[in-house]
Structure formats: C-alpha cells, structure tokens
Structure 1
Amino acid sequence: MPRYEPTEVTEGDGGHSPKRRKAVRYAVPVAVAGVAAATIGLVPAFAGGSPDLPKISAQDLIAKIAKSDVQQLSGTVRITTDLGLPALPGMAGGAGGFGGGQGGGEKKGDGASAAPESKLMELASGAHTLRVAADGPDKQRLSIVDKAAEYSLVHNGNDVWAYDSGSNTAVHSTAPDAGRHGKQRQAPKDLPKDLKNATPQDLAKQALEAAGDTTSVTVDGTAKVAGRDAYQLLIKPKQAASTVGSIRVAVDAANGVPLKFTLTPKSGGAAAIDVGYTDVDFAKPAASLFSFTPPKGAEVVNGDQERAKAEREHGKGAKDFGSRKGMKDVEKDLGGLNVIGKGWTSIATIKGAGPGLPSGKDQGAGGDVGKFLDSLGDKASGSFGTGRIFSTRLVNALITDNGTIYVGAVDKQALIDAANAAK
C-alpha cells in the first residue's frame, strides 16, 4: 500500500470537476471543531508512529466524521486546558475542587458540590482524567477522576445522577427528554428543510461552502491514537487577526470518530485545549456502568426541586437559558448583543449603558482600584475613547469606559478597530 501523503483542499485539486473543486476548497472552522468535541463526549501525545492508510480528501474525511454513528463506547479521556486564565478557587483539579468535604466551602446537602455546572467548569483549567461510557442515547456515564475524590454523572433512561465523593453528596434529576424514550430520534425542528434529510456528504459540502474562504483545511498525515489508526485533519484560519493558530483533529480511520482534538494558539507554546482518548473500546459497555445507588450516608438532593426553586427566584430565564428564547432574553438584559465580522474574526459586542470600569483616577482605597485594574488589563484608546483590554491566550476583550464590551478570539488591534468603526 502506498504511503499516505498529505492532501490539501485547494482550487487546484486536479482530477475533480470545477464544481467539486470550488466546494472542497473551503473548510469548517467551527463545525468540525464542534463535531469533534461533541463526539469525544467531553491526551496523550500521538504515539506509535504513522500508519499507512489509503488517501482521503479533506471533504471526504469531514463527511466520514458526519456519517459516524457510533452508539457504544467506553474509555479514558485526558483533557488539558491552558487558556491563560488566572487561577481561581474551585477551578483547580485538587481535592478542594471536589466538594465541601475537602475544604471546598460548600454547604453539605445543598447540592452545590455535586451540581454538574460547577463541576464541569473545573475542566476549563488544568489537566484532568475522565472515564466515559455510552450505550445509545439513553445511557451515558462521565467521571472526573482526582487523586482524592471522584465526580460522576450517570444518565440511565429517565434518571440523571450527579455524585461527588468528596462531599458524599448526590443530586437526582429527571432527564430532559423523559417521556420521549423509545421514539426515533429526529432532526432538530429549527433546521432548514433541506438539511433535515441530507446525507453526511451533503452536510459536509454545505458546511464547507458556508465557511467561505476564511479557512485552510488539510489532511495532514496519519497517527496512532489510543492504539487506533487515525487520519489527522488540520484546520488553520486564513484571517490574520485570529488568535487561533491551528486545530488538529485525529479521526478514527475505521469509524470516523474523532479521537483527539488539539487547539494551538497563534502565539505558540503548549496547546490551549488538548483532549483525547488514552484508551477506547467500541464494544457494548457493561450495564452496571449505568446503574447508580447513592452510597450509605450520602446526602441526596432533589435536582428538579432545586431547578424549580431557581426558576421561582430568577424567573423563567433560568429554565429557558441556552434556548433561542432564553438567549434573546439574555441579549436584552445585556443591553443588546451583536456579532460583527465573520469566520474566525467574529467579534461579539455588548452595548454599554455606562459607567463602565473605574478609571485610573478613581482613588478607592488610596488609588488601589485603578492600580488593580491596571495590573489585569492594558489601557487602550482610539477614536472610540478609552478602555482596557483583558487577554487570555485565545480570547481578548475590550471594555470601554462607557461599558461597551468587544470580545473575540482576535488580536487586540482588531478589537480597537471594531470599537473605532462602531463609534
């Protein structure tokens, strides 16, 4: 078998029709990344050399990902996140991050230490080991493993359990889709009609065309990941202002499942996000993995009651948050959320109503307010006025003195230019 050579999506992809050449020269900056992250379910470096595999185009590899319908798997995932965020209490992977029993400060029995939203936030920083398992749409398990404790999410039919061994607290909730099990899964109602029954190849082609000319995508060789042969899909922004250097996705050559996802900033250094399997098995997992009974002495919290309480205290927005209606309410509360630009250099803007951040003239405790803000962000100015830019390795945010926010995975000058243009 001939050794695999990298192929690139370009207009000069000889041997194909003009229509196909036009379609395949595009890439998928967000769609591929989203599919990869979702399929992984939430890494070690590539190991074992580069296997010899048949050639495949980038478009066909993307279609292979879309076509993949793996319903059963189990394995271990290693996730490392280095966004350049400051260390925050509860964000570290230490024992304290696993509940009040380890000095986390949560009140035992209130469900805070076992709430999924707080636990999953820990993945935004540091290195973590996860164990995952799935057996169809109604059975999944995810465990975050720490030296001192373990946190688990278990979905089995109508039941969802979250358990934090550090505080010995369990939260039981009803699955969002309860009452609809057994029905054939359908495409989301919000999808355009021409997408509901599209083939994976059609979806890949439409995604490529929608991405425009903002991205370069190549099939950049092969690798061994978790002992399996994989193609490497390499995605790079063409827009100079993007802070993203590249995204590399290792795709299982046999079944199209993304095995490893690595996002590297343009500034270089270690990956900002590196997640993938260290071992994976596509056989049916043991049924016992999806069975959960709270340990003796555990505090059990009714998650449905807690959710209803939050809705009463914070309004229907708590229930609708994340939905289209909920996001519109959030946008309204934020004073008007708008997105300008396209592709990798899109910038979200939130119109401010003032007064914005305190200036350096604000004395506070002997000028400490201004000094503190100066230590966090860089001063910025332009025809828009003045403000401060706060930075991570990927995302920059400009907050003007009148409270308007510009944020995106773009360099600082792009934010200033956007603020000047909106003046």
Structure 2
Amino acid sequence: MAANTKTSRKAARYAVPVAVAGVAAATVAMVPAFANAGNPDLPKVTAQQLIEKVAASETEQLSGTAKISTDLGLPKLATGLLGGGGVAGGSADPQDKIAQLANGTHTFRVAADGPDRQKLTFLDGKDEYTLVHNGADVWGYDSKSNEAFHEKEPQGADKGREHKTGDRVGSPQQLAQDIIKQAGPTTDISVGDTAQVAGRNAYQLVLKPKQSGSTVGSVQIAVDAENGVPLRVQLLSSQGGKPIVDAGFTQVSFAKPAADTFTFTPPKGAKVTEGSDAKGKGQGHDKEFKALESFPGFDALTGGAGDKGEVTPLGEGWATVARIDTGAGKNLKELENDKDAPKEAKQFLNSLGEKVTGKFGEGRILSTRLVNALITDDGKVYVGAVTKDQLVKTADAAK
C-alpha cells in the first residue's frame, strides 16, 4: 500500500499479518498443499521440534500437482477487476498474474531442483501460463496471448536481496519459515491434528494470534512427517467459514526432475518483453498506488502519490495497522460530490462499503475477509489484517 518502498519494508518488519497477507498473494507463487481424508497415527512432537524439522529440511527436489483456492470476500467490482477465471491471457509479466491468482481456484504443475531451478505451470482449460526460473533467467509465458516475459539477473547479483524476480517461484519451505520467523511473542504456536496430504503423512503446525481484533483465526502448515517439507498452507478466518487461502499439493514426488524440465525457448512468433523494458512502463510508483491511480477518477485522489506516501506502523503483531499518508490531491467527499467524476470511479467508491466516523474524522471502509482498509476524507489510508472495529479503534487512537 505504501508509495515509499524503503518505508514499506520497515513497516513489514513489525507485523506477522504482513507475512500472512503475503500468503494470499505470495503463496500463489509458492508450492503448498491440499489434505486427503484420514489422520495417521504419528509419534508425538512438540511445536519446537516441528519447527526445527522444517528448518532442518534439506529436500530441494520435487515435482507434482497442486491447487490454490482463495476467498478474500472482495467486493464484486474488485473481483471482476482481478478476474475470477484463469491466469492465461494478457501480459506475460509474472507480477501482472499475482492479482489474478488472489481470487478463485487454480491448478498448477510444479517442479523444483534446488534454489536456482523451479517451474510452475498454471492450468486454465486449454490455456496455460508458465513461469520458469533457471539460473540467472526467469521466463513467463502466456499461451493464450502467445506473449513471453524474460528477465535476467545481473552478473554477481546478491542472491539474498529482497524481491528479486526469482523469488516469485520460491519454495514452500521458505513460505513456512518466513511465517514462523515473524510469528514472535504475539503468536501461540502449537501442533494440531495429524493429516494426510497428497498421500503423505503430515503433522500440522498451528499459529494463532494471542491478540484480539485480527481477521486471522489461524495459519495451519502441514509438514511432511518424513522429510519436514511444508505440504500445505491454510489461512483461516477468525469469523469461521471456509479457508481464506487453501493451497497445496494434490500429488507430489521428491525425485529429481529431468534437467530439460527447466529449459525454455519462446515459441515461434511469440512477442518477448524484456524485464528492463517492462520496468520503464509506468513503474515509478509502487504498484499498490499504481493500481488506484490507473482507475478512472482516482488519479486525483492519490494526488499522483508516487514517492509522497509515508507509512507509519501502528500497534504490533497481528493487530498491526499501517497508516499511509497519500498526499492526496482530492478527498473522498470531493470525489463523491464531483458531478464530472467518471461513473466507474463512483461505482468503485460505492463498492468500498460503509461510511464510518470517529476521532479520525470521516471515511469509508473497504472490507475483505483478510484485510480491511479505511480511506479517510483527509487522504489517509489505514490498512491491516484486523477487523473493522479494530481498524477504527486504531485510527482513533492515532489522532
């Protein structure tokens, strides 16, 4: 949500919800799992022992089929913008596919051979979207549009740096370890019931917020009882119902994939876009603001936020809320009363949901099952994986 990348990263360090919210988008670029029926009888383990088992896992080779189902409870208009169908069609840039994967159910094939070679193929009927990481090269290919995206890591690039392109095809181990690492003292960690996942016996590591006010009920990570590989990640709502995110293997093998699995050559006639070219097309703003600015009538609301945005973390742990000062040129009330504003902008404004008031002033709340955002009339945004009541309470306390 921030327009200042450095400040955004600083804010992220304060909150488990940042990692958990990442499950809704980041797991789409990971390799987690679905459970089968049955609870195997396994030796008892403590949560600490299970965490150590995940951390000590050296399994880096696998292949199989997985599914991800995401139900964020987005407004109907926002769901339409994301696209409830498949990921094929349009740009082949991997970043452009993430939002589409944050809605609905998707099936994909996966293969991995260490940290430098991974392949994901998202299936959408007869159309496919393929993402390949092979050494310094990352390829994305959309069969429907016959477009390819290519990005090459600079020679000698820092393998540990944040947000490198190769991380888009990261491992399930990394996802689980990131969540566990950021859990901290505000999280209760325990071992739940055993399970069978893709025919393999698994323990379940359960992370629950100790604090009230979070939209997250728990995060459940199914861990292979034999090799410690996380096989499934489920994000459950504090309000109950089906999981917000349920991602995981339906079939898995830990044999070494064939070397040519990770070889990719663009098909004849495919349009190829280099990563450096894509970065030159309007990526001066953070993509969070870019999405809002690109919507008719909202460019004035963000004030061309770009680098003006300033993020302040409020609270801690699962109850963390980020306050974003957008530097807006026009507030919500002005937009609502603007007769010349595009009808699409007003439709989106109405989809934001209920109007709220408090010590912070007036605003509207965009509500989903995971993240709630309060957009105030004075150009501030409060956002977090917290309930609407908790969000308003935090905004009031910040005045």
Question: TM-score scaled to structure 1, two decimals?
Answer: 0.73
Q: Is the 2:321–2:383 Cα contact (8 Å) retained in structure 1?
A: yes
Q: Is the 2:47–2:190 Cα contact (8 Å) retained in structure 1?
A: yes
SS state at 1:131 partner: strand
Q: Does 1:414 align with 2:386?
A: no
In the other structure, the counterpart of 2:109 is 131
Q: Is the 1:356–1:401 Cα contact (8 Å) retained in structure 2?
A: yes
Q: Is the 2:68–2:106 Cα contact (8 Å) retained in structure 1?
A: yes
Higher Rg of the two aligned structures: 1
Pairing 1:225-240 to 2, within 5 Å after superposition: 225-240=197-212
CA–CA distance in 2 between the matches of 1:309 and 1:76?
35
1:137 positional shift: 2.0
Question: TM-score scaled to structure 2, two decimals?
Answer: 0.77
Q: Does 1:338 align with 2:309?
A: no
In the other structure, the counterpart of 2:294 is none
When the two chains are superposed, the root-mean-square deviation of aligned CA atoms in Å is 3.5
Q: Does 1:51 align with 2:40?
A: yes
Q: Is the 1:389–1:412 Cα contact (8 Å) retained in structure 2?
A: yes
Unaligned runs of 5+ in 2: 1-15, 163-172, 291-303
1:301 positional shift: 1.4
SS state at 1:49 partner: coil
In the other structure, the counterpart of 2:61 is 72
In the other structure, the counterpart of 1:325 is none
CA–CA distance in 2 between the matches of 1:154 and 1:374?
40
In the other structure, the counterpart of 2:244 is 272
Q: Does 1:98 align with 2:88?
A: yes
CA–CA distance in 2 between the matches of 1:53 and 1:67?
19
Q: Is the 2:82–2:103 Cα contact (8 Å) retained in structure 1?
A: no
Q: Does 1:376 align with 2:352?
A: yes
Q: Does 1:155 align with 2:133?
A: yes
In the other structure, the counterpart of 1:122 is 100
Pairing 1:157-306 to 2, within 5 Å after superposition: 157-174=135-152, 176=153, 178-179=155-156, 211-212=184-185, 214-296=186-268, 298-306=269-277
1:134 positional shift: 0.9
Q: Is the 1:32–1:62 Cα contact (8 Å) retained in structure 2?
A: no
CA–CA distance in 1 between the matches of 2:368 and 2:92?
28
Q: Is the 1:360–1:371 Cα contact (8 Å) retained in structure 2?
A: no
In the other structure, the counterpart of 2:364 is 388
SS state at 1:377 partner: coil
CA–CA distance in 1 between the matches of 2:255 and 2:279?
39
Which stretch of structure 1 is more off in the superposition, 286-295 or 358-367?
A: 358-367
**Using a 3 Å threshold, how does the CA distance of structure 1 residues 186 and 145 change in structure 2: closer, same or farther?**
closer
1:267 positional shift: 1.4
**Using a 3 Å threshold, how does the CA distance of structure 1 residues 358 and 228 change in structure 2: closer, same or farther?**
same
CA–CA distance in 2 between the matches of 1:188 and 1:294?
28
CA–CA distance in 2 between the matches of 1:407 and 1:375?
17
SS state at 2:206 partner: strand
Q: Is the 1:352–1:402 Cα contact (8 Å) retained in structure 2?
A: no
1:179 positional shift: 4.7
**Using a 3 Å threshold, how does the CA distance of structure 1 residues 130 and 347 change in structure 2: closer, same or farther?**
same
CA–CA distance in 2 between the matches of 1:62 and 1:160?
31
For 2:36, the aligned partner's letter is A
Higher relative contact order (CA 8 A, sep 6+): 2
**Using a 3 Å threshold, how does the CA distance of structure 1 residues 283 and 394 change in structure 2: closer, same or farther?**
same
CA–CA distance in 1 between the matches of 2:58 and 2:342?
59
Q: Is the 1:145–1:151 Cα contact (8 Å) retained in structure 2?
A: yes
Q: Does 1:362 align with 2:337?
A: yes
Q: Does 1:400 align with 2:373?
A: no
CA–CA distance in 1 between the matches of 2:351 and 2:82?
23
Q: Is the 2:70–2:102 Cα contact (8 Å) retained in structure 1?
A: yes
The share of aligned pairs that are identical, in percent, is 49
**Using a 3 Å threshold, how does the CA distance of structure 1 residues 47 and 372 change in structure 2: closer, same or farther?**
closer
For 2:85, the aligned partner's letter is G
Unaligned runs of 5+ in 1: 1-27, 100-105, 107-112, 190-199, 322-329
**Using a 3 Å threshold, how does the CA distance of structure 1 residues 308 and 38 change in structure 2: closer, same or farther?**
closer
In the other structure, the counterpart of 2:72 is 83
Q: Is the 2:205–2:221 Cα contact (8 Å) retained in structure 1?
A: yes
CA–CA distance in 2 between the matches of 1:42 and 1:55?
26
Report Cα offsets for 1:131-179 as digits up to 9, x if no partner. Answer: 11111222111111110300101122232221111112222321x2645
CA–CA distance in 2 between the matches of 1:300 and 1:371?
35
In the other structure, the counterpart of 1:195 is none
CA–CA distance in 2 between the matches of 1:45 and 1:279?
9
1:216 positional shift: 1.8
SS state at 1:231 partner: strand
CA–CA distance in 2 between the matches of 1:365 and 1:332?
24
- Among 52, 56, 72, which residue is 1:63 paired with? 52
Report Cα offsets for 1:181-220 as digits up to 9, x if no partner. Answer: xxxx98669xxxxxxxxxx9xxx9xx779711x2222211
SS state at 2:227 partner: coil
CA–CA distance in 2 between the matches of 1:256 and 1:291?
29
